[in-house]
Every structure is written in structure tokens, then in C-alpha cells.
Structure 1
Amino acid sequence: MSDLDQRLLEAHARQDHAALVTLYSEAAEMSEDEDSRGFYLTHAYIFALELGHPAASTLHGKLKATGREE
């Protein structure tokens, strides 16, 4: 298990949604394929929306740019 995977699991266990926005965004940037990137971006975006996080609009733009929303 990677360090990032461990940090994601720990953030989920703590229900630390702010950390999850950051960690899923980090995972998306590290992804080597489009499907994984989309998966991680979607999760980051959902947590950002729930929090009213300022990154929500940026994440939404990234999802649109990858064709995840038209």
C-alpha cells in the first residue's frame, strides 16, 4: 500500500473531508490513466461540494476538461 493510500484511509477513518479533498486531488494528479484520474477528481469534487470548499470550482473545471461532464 502506498503512502497516499494510507493517508486516504486514515482521512476516511477520521471523516476529515477537507483532507480528502486534498488527498483525492493529489491522487488525481499522480494518476497515469484517464479513468483513475476521473475517479479521484470526482471524489475530490464531491467532498469539496459537501464542504463548500474553495477548490470545488477548480475541480469542476478539471472534470469538464477531461470530458466527465458536458
Structure 2
Amino acid sequence: MFEASMITGVIVALGQLAKNYIDPKYVPAISLVLGILGGVFLVPADNLQTGILNGLISGLSACGLYDVTKTLHN
């Protein structure tokens, strides 16, 4: 599960980087897509459904971290 936590940090960083180039309202959707891709391709899983679930967890965690940092930054 160490990989999932690393992917979450990378997704948050990529979301912050993407915020400079696109409208910030799309950052959670991008985080979710990146999380699913990371869960399927980077986190070891027994089957595709488990990889997608791991990716959803990572992507939604990154969205939550993004919202917290957005709230604290303002």
C-alpha cells in the first residue's frame, strides 16, 4: 500500500502544476483520472477491479488534500 500513498502525493503535485495551465475547477477530475491510471498501472493488484478501486482511493484522497490546501491557502 506504500505505492498508493506515493501516487497520492504525486497526483496532488500534478494537480497543483495543472492549476497553472487549466481552470482550477477541473483539477479534481484530473486527479481522479490520474488516480485511476496510477492504480491500474502502478499499484500491484490481483485484478483490474482492484486496481481501479485503488486508483479511485488515491485520486479521491488527492482531491481531498487539494481541497484542504485550497481552503488553507485562501
**Normalised TM-score (structure 2):** 0.36
Larger RCO: 1 or 2 (CA < 8 Å, sep 6+): 2
User: As a proportion of its length, which structure holds more helix?
Assistant: 2
Decide which structure has the larger Cα Rg and report it: 2
* TM-score relative to the length of structure 1: 0.37
